[in-house]
Amino acid sequence: MAPLRVLVVDDAVVMRRLLSQVLEEDPGLTVITAANGRIALSKLVQASPDAVVLDIEMPELDGLGTLRELRKTHPRLPVIMFSTLTERGAAATLEAMSLGASDYVTKPANVGSVNESIERVRAELVPKIKALCERCRPEGRPEAASSPAGPRRAAPRSDAGPRQRVDIVAIGSSTGGPNALHAVLSALPGSLEVPVVITQHMPPVFTRLLAERLDATCELQVQEASGGERIGPGQVWIAPGDHHLEVRRAGGGVELALDDGPPENSCRPAVDVLFRSVARAYGGRALAIVLTGMGADGQRGAELLREAGSHVVAQDEVSSVVWGMPGAVVRAGLADEVVTLDDVPALITDHVALRRSSAVHLTTARG
């Protein structure tokens, strides 16, 4: 198979050299460079890249402007934003995601530490390029017909009894997650009778701005967790960057707790940590949803939730940006349902509705 062609767009010579060095050390990658967005757009036809790594702040034409123009002619081309770990960089990155960027990698904070910078970029950027390109190549692209229009059973339980009521919804996501979360949360009613807790792989600052953007466009109240909050209906809590999020029983209710312990699955926050705590606090009365993302974070937690009797759902391959996390859950036989992203909001409201009907039934029986 021919090496993947990666177009690196950055106005800083040091960054172009660093990225070129990192990427070309991999025999499966070859690099073309451009010093700004206008040059990059002119190279698209001639170079025919398989992926683009795009800086945000550049002269002539910045990253957001370049992305808007690029998407007019290349709607499926993987684009990874290369942003600074600042509030301004985070805001621009989230805007880029809404414009169709596939993913992002943050720039090394200290360019002077060359070896450390090279290693971090290699660890984050190379796997993302390969995962995104694998999906877009003809031989790696799932056929739309392979996924049914609605939910389908993936791994039915041999001991399945009546469906449990749902007291909490727990969601895990990574690559492609910000847009997927927006699609799900914006379609849910503000009257949702249970809380929603989310782990999205993101660094500090990014998670707060993501929560703010979602809160501005959703009926539900969306916040970044800070620890100690008592959770209730209609609330959505997102794990803050660099901290694991957990739920814990306390004083007759459930509170949020943050943990800066070691990363799990090379992630902090990690979906497994959240799911594990949900299994402890809620047993079989949870709905767990694993959305698009690289890796296998969430698989072990999904196993514990399913053993406790909770319902586990995975996003399907066709609608996922990368079918790593949900795919791992499906392949392990842990998914009760595999659904398209468009089906997730209705699935949530349907499962939560059982809570209402259970409460009505209980009240009637007592009366």
Residues carrying an active site annotation: 174, 201, 297
| Cis before 269? omega within 30 | yes
Sign of the alpha-carbon torsion through 353, 359, 361, 364: negative
**Residues 6 or more apart in contact with residue 242 via CB below 8 angstroms:** 203, 204, 260, 268, 269
**What whole-number distance in Å separates Cα of residue 33 and Cα of residue 76?**
20
